[in-house]
Every structure is written in structure tokens, then in C-alpha cells.
């Protein structure tokens, strides 16, 4: 299993992006974000997405030179236009601005429109948590799920992140509204395995654990059935209103996913009374989870983000895991 | 089926609360909130909870005279202490303050600690939406669910609300993190019915649709399995940090549910550019959902809050539905 030191991976990606004409500071940032996703074990939004991202740059449908601009707002709530720039650096700028607003106002919120895929939702939650803030952010997407009761795709899977700061590593929720991502369904299908729980409907409208049936029907299941469907709808509406941007339906009318809408909120809890207790509070919560009796004796109850932090430590100690041939593919871009 | 004009129901409840020594303006507010829950069809947090609420007042464990006070904050982010007052009026004051902050700062956030059960989460989202804001709020609770992989209860079901303003009635998400509330499991059990989908684990750790088995095991299922479990954990941590109050685990150590922690966020989207398009945007989203092809021919795809608004209209036109004997029980309090 090939492993690469994290700084080397960043350097490789930076080099490719520079060659594609991405301005240097932005190339460094985007390279770091892709490399961090891989470092943290989020392989679904790491190196595997990098060739597609470079292809998008080459196609000219993304503008690597576009800076996001503030187009409106009031006080600690701002609207920014991503100007069809790079989704990762736009999102990083937007959360950065929300954090900055939170230094003065206690919290900050940025609605970002006309932006592109940010890859990993959790990255921008982590950014806030590393700055001592609770970070909340979400994006809409092109429709990927049937709303509850429907036979056809009409809502996005609209990933949501909530990150809570902690000295030894944050709590991190990073979840899409579908029970399984399409990529995950494909992995199970290739391996000939059933899903651990129902992940969608087959063509006849029955819940199923067969990944192939769900991919064929295009009916992945929202988390919690009607609940995740409703959450996806309100997140979409809120993203469009806060940013002044497009809803999932409007994105669908374009035919492919671009010019999406996102929301970034930073809550500056370290500015509050009791900030010296943040770590004690979160650590006690973690200790309590760890002490909870498991269903399967010997299993560990994990806090959100625990697996990610474990992989990050491994990656930093032993190098970042890279799939066979993946690095060669990057170098050939 | 007995029905009562909405103003009469408010008057009946107001009268009982006044007799219990609740100051008049607060009695009027709390009566209205209970009556609105019933009016909107949220029977789980309407009249059925009123006798228990009055019993709590009589027990002296709630202080009906306590006003919430601001204890800290920075700019648009404030911490309030609910001083063990009435949960409904404390929550209403907190969202009211968040809305007020949003007038000046674009958004506002209030963390409320030492407060009590707010009954219906959606009520305070609606309050924000009626003021032209996107309202986001959540509460922690005493532990009611096993976290993912656990055999015993250790996380709250931590209800979350997101409301989006709209002239003809808001979009309203109001959901707990368990797939079914205990009250709902009890109803299915009394009726001898299976749940429509798995709602928890039996004593042997298998997923089941038998409500009695879940009540016996005390293992209700988080929405989306591991995802709802993680969401419940981060909402708990965030509520404790923003409010400076207790986590679910600390609430558990008291032995019963009181002095909980809550967060209220108001996003003043009507102050933004494009505010004149709010209704057009949300209505287009609703029209799109309504036009989506259903799994079962003839079924309607509903937007979040649609059923609630339909029951509200019926209640205002024909009177609020009251269970047989429920009004007599209220009058006897």
C-alpha cells in the first residue's frame, strides 16, 4: 500500500495546479485541501476527485482567476458571489470571512452563490473549529434523491457539517442527506455485497439493500426516510435565500452541477464566558460515549470525527495512503 | 369529535395558568403556545402535555416568576440564563432576542441555559419565520437514545427546527433525532400495529418494527443510523458551549430532565438583496415538489410543514380538535 509524506502530496498537487494556470496562493490552498481530505481518510473527496477537477479547469467551465466578491449583506450576515471560481477556495474564503465576522460580532454568516463543488463539507467546518469557532455549513447540489414518497429524483443530497472545537481535535459531523453516497453504492456493487441497512428503493418501490437495484432505480434513501427528505428541502431553500443564489431545481435546469449555493456560519464560542471549559465539556461528553456499553461486546462507541482523527494521525506518522496508480495519474495530468 | 374555537381554547388555558400564579402576560403567552401546538396538529405537545405542565408548576420545580437574564455574549451572540423558569416563555424570549439582534446585525444567536422543556421545537422556528427570518433552533434533552453501536441510552433525541419564511406559510422542519418518538411507539403498540419502518432494536440487538420490543429494550433508532446519532452528539455539544449550560449527560446526572441547553439563531434574510424574491424562490421550490411523480400514483409529494398548515386552516375554520375528555381535564386542573 503506497504511502506518501503529507507535504510531498501537497507539493505534487500544487505543481499540477500551477501548471494549469491557477494563481500560486490559490494553487497552494486547493492542493492543501485536496491533500487534507486524503490525509483524513475522506478518499471519496481526495485524490480520486483530483483528475476530474483538473479536467474541469481545462474545460474552462471554472475560472481559476475569479475572486469571490461581497455583493450585499447587513452587519454579520454577508452575501458573496463566487463568480464561478474554484469551489474549494471560494468555500475557504467564505468560512474565513464568517470567522472574521465572528471576531467582532460573536458570530458571522456568509451566503455564497455561483460557486462550485467544495469537495468535502467537513473541511470548512474544521477550518472554523481550528479558529476556535463552532462551524456550521451546508451546500445544495443538483437533485440526487427522490423526496419522500416520490418516484423520481428532485432534491439534492445537500451535505451538512457541524464542527465543535477541541484542543485534541474537533467533533466533526459531515453528512449528506442520502443514507449512502452513490460512490459507496458502487463500491458495494463491485464487491458483490449487500448494504448493511436499506439504502434506497428498487424499481418497484420496495426498500432494498441491493446496491445495484438502487443505482438502477435512481432512488437512494434519505436518512430517516421523511425526516432527511424534509431536512434536505429546508437546507436547499435556506442556501438559496441566504446566498441569493440558485435552488437545486434551478441547478437541475442547467443540466449539470455548477453555480451552487452555500451557507457558512461561525459561532465564536471562545469569546464567551465559560470558554475555558470548552475542552472539559467536550472531553467529558467523549468520555461518556466511550464508557457506554456496546451492543457487540468489545466494540467501541465513537464520537463524530474520531475515525477521521485516527486516520489523520496514521497519515501524518506513516504517510498518506494513496491508491495504486493514483499518484502516477496525478503526475500525468 | 369535539372542536373548540381557537380563542376559546387560549382563554381556557390562560385561566388555568393564571390560577396557578403565572404572571398574566406570561400566562397569556404560554396558553397561546400550547393552544397553537394543538391548533397546528402537534397533538404530542399540545393539550396532552398541559396537565403535566400544570403539575410541574404545582410541584414548585419550575419558577413561573423567573425572567431569563442575559449573562454574557459578544455582539450578535448572547448567552442567557433561563433561571429554571417556564421553558416555553424562556424559548420565546430567546428567539425574540435573536430576531431583535438580527435587525441590527443581520443575524442573531442566543444560547439559553438552565431552561426547561419548550414543548414544540417548531413553535420558535415559526416565530422567526413570521418575523421574516430563517429560524434555526435546537435543544438538548435527557439521554433517550443509544448512540450508534451502543446497547444503552446515552444521547438525547435533541430536536432541531429550521423554518423558512413565506407569505403563504413557512417551510418548517421540526424533527427529533430518533426515528419515532416514544409517544408514537406507544400509540402503535396500543393499536397492535407494526411500525412502517424499523424504529429501533429489540433486546437481542436486531432492528425491529415491533413498537413493544423497542419500548422494552429502550433502544430507539437514530434517524439514518450512525448519521442521526452523530448529529445528536454535535447538537448537544454545541448547545452546551453556546449557552454555557449542561450537556445531556450532565442532565442525566440530575435524574430527571430539567435545566436543559438550547440555541436560537435568526437569519434576517428579508434585509438582504433579493428579499423581494423570497416568496418566488420558495414557491417555485414547492411547485417543483408538487409536480414530482409519486411512487404511489395519486399520492401528493408534500413540502415540510404542508400537513401542519392544512390542519391549522381546518382548526381556524372549524375549531381546534380536542380529544374526548381533554377539555374537562384542563378545567379540573
* Residue B45 is a catalytic residue: yes
Q: Which of A191, A216, A241 is the last residue of a domain?
A: A216
Q: Which residue of B has its CA nearest to A150?
A: B294
With a cut of 80, say whether residue A274 has pLDDT above it. Answer: no
**Is the same domain home to B111 and B244?**
yes
Chain B residues within an 8 Å CB radius of A301 = 147-150, 154
Q: Say whether A154 and B244 touch across the interface (CB within 8 A).
A: no
Q: Tell me the nearest-neighbour CA distance from B62 into chain A, angstroms.
A: 25
CATH of the domain at A193: 3.30.60.50
CA A286/CA A171 separation, integer angstroms:
9
**Is the same domain home to A285 and A159?**
yes
**What is the spatial order of strands in the sheet that A260-267 belongs to?**
A69-74, A77-81, A107-115, A260-267, A134-139, A160-164, A171-175
ipTM (interface pTM): 0.98
Chain A residues within an 8 Å CB radius of B309 = none
**Is the same domain home to B262 and B156?**
yes
Task: Please give the residue range of the domain that contains residue B211.
Answer: 183-216
**Is the same domain home to B238 and B331?**
no
Interface probe for A, chosen from B98, B235, B288 (most Cβ of A below 10 Å), is B288
C-alpha cell at B35: 393552544
The number of distinct structural domains making up chain B is 3
pLDDT-derived band at A182 (thresholds 50, 70, 90) equals confident
Count of CB pairs separated by less than 8 Å, A with B: 276
Spatial CB neighbours of B333, under 8 Å, sequence gap ≥ 6: B16, B20, B50, B51, B54
Q: pLDDT per residue over A219-236, tens digit each?
A: 999 999 999 999 999 999
pLDDT of residue A14: 98
What's the Rg (C-alpha) of chain A?
20
Chain B residues within an 8 Å CB radius of A267 = 77, 109, 238, 242
CATH of the domain at B13: 1.10.1530.10
In the numeric block, the cell 457506554 is attached to A292
**Is the same domain home to A212 and A142?**
no
> Does any domain span residue B72?
yes
- Residues B219/A147, Cβ–Cβ less than 8 Å: no
Chain B residues within an 8 Å CB radius of A134 = 238, 241-242
**Is the same domain home to B121 and B188?**
no
CA B142/CA B154 separation, integer angstroms:
9
CA A142/CA B186 separation, integer angstroms:
39
CB-based burial label for B204 (10 Å; 0-12, 13-18, 19+): exposed
Q: Say whether B293 and A147 touch across the interface (CB within 8 A).
A: no
> Does any domain span residue B294?
no
- Residues B145/B157, Cβ–Cβ less than 8 Å: yes
**Is the same domain home to A54 and A93?**
no
The percent helix, strand, coil of chain B (3-state, each to 5) is 45, 20, 35
CATH of the domain at B151: 3.30.1370.60
Tell me the sheet residues that pair with A72: A79
**Is the same domain home to B164 and B209?**
no
Q: pLDDT per residue over A24-63, tens digit each?
A: 999 999 999 999 999 999 998 999 999 999 999 999 999 9
In the numeric block, the cell 445537500 is attached to A158
CA B132/CA B155 separation, integer angstroms:
33
C-alpha cell at B75: 455582539
> Does any domain span residue B286?
no
> Does any domain span residue B328?
yes
CA B222/CA B201 separation, integer angstroms:
11
Q: Say whether B301 and A149 touch across the interface (CB within 8 A).
A: yes
Spatial CB neighbours of A75, under 8 Å, sequence gap ≥ 6: A105, B76, B104, B105, B106, B107
**Is the same domain home to B97 and B164?**
yes
- Residues A262/A239, Cβ–Cβ less than 8 Å: yes
Q: φ, ψ for residue B199 (rounded to 5)?
A: -120, 5
> Does any domain span residue B56?
yes
Candidates B197, B306, B145, B224; CA nearest to A157 is B224
Q: Three-class SS of residue A139?
A: strand
In the numeric block, the cell 435556506 is attached to A238
Q: Say if strands A260-267 and A107-115 run parallel, antiparallel, or are unpaired.
A: antiparallel
CA B221/CA A150 separation, integer angstroms:
24
Arithmetic mean of pLDDT, A146-169:
97
Percentage of residues in chain A having pLDDT higher than 70? 100
| pTM of the predicted protein model | 0.98
> Does any domain span residue B260?
yes
Candidates B216, B224, B173; CA nearest to B198 is B224
Q: Say whether A150 and B294 touch across the interface (CB within 8 A).
A: yes
**Is the same domain home to A162 and A196?**
no
CA B123/CA B119 separation, integer angstroms:
9
Q: φ, ψ for residue A265 (rounded to 5)?
A: -125, 130
pLDDT of residue B1: 59
What are the Cα distances from residue A36, in Å, to A29, A165, A170? 10, 18, 15
Q: Per-residue pLDDT for chain B (333 aa), expressed as one digit of tens each?
A: 589 999 999 999 999 999 999 999 999 999 999 999 999 999 989 999 999 999 999 999 999 999 999 999 999 999 999 999 999 999 999 999 999 999 999 999 999 999 999 999 999 999 999 999 999 999 999 999 999 999 999 999 999 999 999 999 999 999 999 999 888 898 899 999 999 999 999 999 999 999 999 999 999 999 999 999 999 999 999 999 999 999 999 999 999 999 999 999 999 999 997 788 999 999 999 999 999 999 999 999 999 999 999 999 999 999 999 998 899 999 998
Chain A residues within an 8 Å CB radius of B247 = 281, 284-285
Q: Say whether A240 and B105 touch across the interface (CB within 8 A).
A: no
C-alpha cell at B184: 408514537
> Does any domain span residue B296?
no
Element (H, E) at B287: helix B278-290
- Residues B42/B308, Cβ–Cβ less than 8 Å: yes
Q: Tell me the nearest-neighbour CA distance from A104 into chain B, angstroms.
A: 7
With a cut of 70, say whether residue A1 has pLDDT above it. Answer: no
**Is the same domain home to B157 and B84?**
yes
**Is the same domain home to A165 and A246?**
yes
pLDDT of residue B324: 87
CB-based burial label for B94 (10 Å; 0-12, 13-18, 19+): buried
> Does any domain span residue B288?
no
Amino acid at each position: 500500500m503506497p504511502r506518501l509524506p503529507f507535504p510531498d502530496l501537497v507539493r505534487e498537487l500544487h505543481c499540477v495546479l500551477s501548471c494549469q494556470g491557477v494563481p500560486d496562493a490559490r494553487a497552494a490552498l486547493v492542493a492543501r485541501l485536496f491533500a487534507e481530505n486524503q490525509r483524513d481518510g475522506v478518499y471519496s473527496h481526495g485524490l480520486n476527485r483530483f483528475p476530474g477537477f483538473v479536467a474541469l479547469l481545462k474545460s474552462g467551465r471554472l475560472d481559476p482567476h475569479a475572486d469571490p466578491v461581497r455583493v450585499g449583506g447587513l452587519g454579520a450576515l454577508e452575501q458573496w458571489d463566487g463568480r464561478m471560481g474554484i469551489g474549494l477556495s471560494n468555500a475557504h474564503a467564505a468560512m474565513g470571512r464568517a470567522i472574521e465576522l465572528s471576531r467582532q460580532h460573536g458570530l458571522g454568516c456568509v451566503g455564497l452563490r455561483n460557486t462550485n463543488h467544495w469537495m468535502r463539507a467537513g473541511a470548512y467546518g474544521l477550518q472554523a473549529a481550528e479558529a476556535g469557532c463552532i462551524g456550521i455549513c451546508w451546500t445544495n447540489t443538483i437533485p440526487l434523491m427522490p423526496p419522500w414518497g416520490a418516484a423520481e429524483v428532485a432534491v439534492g443530497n445537500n451535505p451538512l457539517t457541524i464542527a465543535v472545537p477541541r484542543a485534541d481535535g474537533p467533533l466533526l459531523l459531515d453528512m449528506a442527506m442520502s443514507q449512502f453516497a452513490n460512490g459507496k453504492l458502487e463500491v458495494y456493487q463491485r464487491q458483490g455485497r449487500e448494504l448493511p441497512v436499506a439504502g434506497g428503493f428498487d424499481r418497484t418501490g420496495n426498500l432494498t439493500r441491493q446496491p445495484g437495484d438502487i443505482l438502477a432505480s435512481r432512488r437512494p434513501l434519505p436518512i430517516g426516510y421523511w425526516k432527511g427528505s424534509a431536512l434536505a428541502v429546508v437546507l436547499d431553500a435556506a442556501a438559496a435565500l441566504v446566498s441569493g443564489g440558485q435552488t437545486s431545481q434551478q441547478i437541475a435546469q442547467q443540466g449539470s452541477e455548477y453555480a451552487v449555493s452555500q451557507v457558512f456560519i461561525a459561532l465564536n464560542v471562545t469569546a464567551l464566558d465559560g470558554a475555558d471549559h470548552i475542552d472539559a465539556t467536550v472531553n467529558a461528553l467523549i468520555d461518556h460515549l466511550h464508557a457506554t456499553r456496546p451492543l457487540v461486546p468489545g466494540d467501541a462507541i465513537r464520537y463524530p470525527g474520531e475515525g477521521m482523527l485516527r486516520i489523520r494521525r496514521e497519515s501524518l506518522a506513516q504517510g498518506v495512503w494513496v491508491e495504486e496508480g493514483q499518484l502516477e495519474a496525478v503526475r500525468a495530468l
